[in-house]
Chain A
Amino acid sequence: AQTVTQSQPEMSVQEAETVTLSCTYDTSDNNYYLFWYKQPPSRQMILVIRQEAYKQQNATENRFSVNFQKAAKSFSLKISDSQLGDTAMYFCAWGGAAGNKLTFGGGTRVLVKP
């Protein structure tokens, strides 16, 4: 079974600074998809960014970018110019190319301090 590990339970960052969240996964598949979801205090899950494993170029969405290292099975999320609204739980998730399910990591709580 696929596993997704987020080794940092909590992180804090000053407003306007940069924070990087780590995620590693275990799979024997060659083609798959990786996601970062954000869960603010409202509890609503929101997709932040998505990466396709067959694309070497790292995905970016405004202030959010990933560092995808396929050989190392690593998928980190960088939040640049952190804003108070970035305070949330962040979940890394893996989905197989031929499947229809996601496997989530345990989450990292990010606190942005003013």
Chain B
Amino acid sequence: NAGVTQTPKFRVLKTGQSMTLLCAQDMNHEYMYWYRQDPGMGLRLIHYSVGEGTTAKGEVPDGYNVSRLKKQNFLLGLESAAPSQTSVYFCASSAGQSYNEQFFGPGTRLTVL
């Protein structure tokens, strides 16, 4: 099992460009999450999904959109990238509610110039 994978691992964008980050999990998990990690701020939840076809806003959703068309995939989109979105992005999945362990992907380092 690959667990949780993320594509790409690194990306550099110019301000105003768009991109999509792909997260895939092979554990048949219902719940998937997108976080961003910034120094001193830990991980902050951007959006999450509790099942195929569902999405919900997290703590810092502005400037991002998500889609969960297939149970195993969770896409994070940036329509018009800004320097403030320079960060490391993590995807995670879990079997259910918060007592379940979240399994994380390896992260994507995004730089917006």
Q: Which residues of A contact B (CB under 8 A)?
A: 4, 6, 9, 32-33, 42-45, 47, 50, 52, 91, 95-107
Contact = CB atoms under 8 A, between A and B. Distances in A.
A52 B43 contact: no
A104 B44 contact: yes
B74 interface: no
Nearest to B3: A44
Given A45-B90, A45-B104, A102 B98 contact: yes
Q: Which of B40, B41, B94, B99 has the most CB of A within 10 A?
A: B99
A77 to B, nearest CB: 15
A52 B99 contact: yes
B38 to A, nearest CB: 9
B104 A100 contact: no
Interface residues of B, number: 25
Contact of A107 (B33, B42, B45, B107): B42
Q: Which of A96, A100, A105 has the most CB of B within 10 A?
A: A100
Please list the 8 inter-chain residue pairs (A to B) with the smallest Cβ-Cβ separation, ordered nearest first.
A95-B98, A45-B104, A104-B42, A104-B43, A106-B42, A33-B99, A43-B107, A100-B97
A50 B99 CA distance: 8
Nearest to B35: A104
B42 A105 contact: yes
Nearest to A42: B106
B40 A107 contact: yes
B99 A97 contact: yes
Contacts of A107: 40, 42
Interface in B47-95: 48, 50, 58, 88, 90, 92, 94
A105 B50 CA distance: 23
